[in-house]
Amino acid sequence: MQLSRGATGFWASTEEPLPLADVPRLRGLCFEAARLAHAAVGSWHEAGQCSFHTVDVLGAGTSHWLLFHAHLPLVAFCAVAPPSGQPVDGFTEPPSWAGVFEAGGVGVLGPRTLDLPISAVDLGGLSTAERGQVGHWQPQTLGDLLFNWWD
């Protein structure tokens, strides 16, 4: 897999700022997905010191945490909310209603992709500053790199 600039969510002050995800559009997709799943959209947490936004989608006896990358059109799923400052663990398979995001132009990532070792990922598209952060933080998997709490 090849990554492009913005994957780490980190940029140097000497670089052009990273683009931001279209949050209103992502929220709209969440509501459409929840409607299809006969579920409700819970709390939305904006990316602060992390590289992703989170939202919970609650259905009859089920709960999915959605992680939206703050700069790239990507979404991943977890069974529980990621603990603040900790590596995201427990990526789950996308639910059946995840096709709403694909149709909306958002890449849907599953554990098979997110658990790829960094050695299997092409980092050539990252900026110099991002590659420096990868060297510093040493993420073990693609999921660690994409969904991080780096400062």
pLDDT at 147: 94
pLDDT at 1: 66
Beta bridge partners of 117: 141
CB 145 within 8 A of CB 28: no
- Average pLDDT per consecutive 10 residues, the chain (151 residues; last block may be shorter): 62 68 93 92 87 88 89 93 86 94 96 95 87 91 91 60
Phi-psi region of 112 (alpha: psi -120 to 50; beta: other; left: phi over 0): alpha
Residue 151 lies in a domain: no
pLDDT at 129: 84
pLDDT at 14: 64
Residue 121 lies in a domain: yes
Beta bridge partners of 66: 55, 77
Nearest to 44 by CA among 77, 75, 66: 66
pLDDT at 4: 65
Residue 8 lies in a domain: yes
Residue 109 lies in a domain: yes
Residue 82 lies in a domain: yes
Task: Annotate 90-112 with b (16+ C-beta within 10 A) or e (fewer).
Answer: ebeebbebbebbeebebebbebe
Number of structural domains, the chain? Answer: 1
- For 27, the domain range is 2-146
Residue 86 lies in a domain: yes
pLDDT at 2: 61
